Structure 1
């Protein structure tokens, strides 16, 4: 049976509820010194604030080596009543030291599969998606390596592959690689950060290929084109692609959390949802927040 793999076990897609399809409870990178998301109490507060706005599920895209704190996720999910999905995968090389990357060189796909089927480290928490990343208008050697491993892991498990697009660029090149060369079905690919490059032609081509398009902001560290997002969503809906869209908050820094004065997870439902309802209507926004994530993140797990 197709199900979403949460940190508390597999969940039928129809029971996922209102979902923040791309966010972070824990995250730490040398590129954002002093802004690490490493507080359990703050993570719980964000989940509770999201729940108070009607949220039911959060998909954490934090991949290998960036402070996922997988062992904390089940208890946070139980305490707040919010379903949580964890990720395996690997970000851009600038987020890692050479020793970490060298240690993964000949076993990356193996690590991904193990984290999807057996658990992350000793936590026993199984990941429910594979997160990888492209570069700015480019696919470098690191990207090709990580996406190759992601494709292997997908073919072994059926897991969805979620892609960080640097400033929203490179979507079509990513699809050429993942879905063309590496034979990952387009409906198993989620393209993130498309709000950062509001090119309607690229959006329509990507949606027409059959993948998922994630509009995942705002975040204080990544503010760019929030005001153009409703128009981009409306254009895709009018072109018949409303069933391919996802929404997320992508909270990547401590300053972006609501408990620290930023928009945080609740902003998605408190402000983004009603703004989008004006653009495309309540019914479509409800489907984008519930039905679409259930289908995007569900898999027939081995």
Structure 2
């Protein structure tokens, strides 16, 4: 549900939603975390190879959910977009506290101001994170700042749900208390908690549901992915669905990697649902009524 003047903010500039094309709605080209030592995604050449493989299958855009302080490398993203022709959407925001060793420095940040500034320069969404089956103080702090940044810019907010949990808590806070319209919220990792009744309630709210990480074979719920998508489509919620690869470690790149979405998952959806999930829905979910970019 994008407005007539809405655009998608990519690292190279604002783009009409209709030009976004086939989209991986949740992935990482660059990522570094104290929780994943030695598994950093930090190689521009490897990222370029991944993008070219994705583009060879018809991929036109990737939404990178790497938030502030986790090695998102916006300048490298811009160069990769120029070299490959793939549209790249970057994130601001903040992950769970465990990803940031210096908690004292983190608490000194004015998060709303930080998020809004990055949205004005290179970022096209705010990424935040819940806790397991609830929202801790850190999650509430970051989501409150994300809502302020949304109200200042219109930016979409994408949410990491730990093992797919606490999505209703997130909607109650972001949409109920903080006034963010549900269609500006993307709920991530729902494939990891395959409660079909819950999924239908979330979709009925108007939020977007991101099923990501289908290539992560360590998740015991991966085999439910297609059943979840089919059930939501049958219930009339096909226009709320997004898919992403969510590559988070160097070991996962190319194993099977970003192209897996288009090579193996897309053919099993059928042409109509595939068009919605990979093209029409991302164009709506990541569009916003942006003010002009800051120079």
Unaligned residue ranges in structure 2 (runs of 5+)? none
Check if 1:53 corresponds to 2:42.
no
CA distance in 2, matches of 1:198, 1:102: 34
Map of 1:268 onto structure 2: 261
Check if 1:66 corresponds to 2:62.
no
Map of 2:114 onto structure 1: 111
CA distance in 1, matches of 2:220, 2:91: 25
Deviation at 1:102, TM superposition (A): 2.7
Contact 1:134-1:170 within 8 A present in 2 as well: yes
Q: Segments of 4+ in structure 1 off by > 2 A?
A: 218-224
Contact 1:220-1:255 within 8 A present in 2 as well: no
Contact 1:243-1:292 within 8 A present in 2 as well: yes
Deviation at 1:91, TM superposition (A): 0.2
- TM-superposition CA deviations, 1:215-256 (whole Å, max 9, x none): 011244753322111110011001100000001000000111
| Counterpart pick for 1:127 among 104, 123, 129 | 123
Superposed counterparts of 1:144-223, under 5 Å: 144-220=140-216, 223=219
Contact 1:17-1:55 within 8 A present in 2 as well: yes
| Counterpart pick for 2:30 among 21, 26, 31 | 26
Q: Counterpart of 2:15 in 1: which secondary structure?
A: strand
CA 1:48–1:100 in 2, change beyond 3 Å: closer, same or farther?
Answer: farther
CA distance in 1, matches of 2:180, 2:91: 18
Contact 1:161-1:189 within 8 A present in 2 as well: yes
Superposed counterparts of 1:225-236, under 5 Å: 225-236=221-232
Compute the RMSD of aligned alpha carbons: 1.0
Q: Counterpart of 1:149 in 2: which secondary structure?
A: helix
Contact 1:221-1:252 within 8 A present in 2 as well: no
Deviation at 1:284, TM superposition (A): 1.3
- TM-score (normalised: structure 2): 0.95
Contact 2:20-2:61 within 8 A present in 1 as well: yes
CA distance in 1, matches of 2:283, 2:218: 26
Unaligned residue ranges in structure 1 (runs of 5+)? 120-125
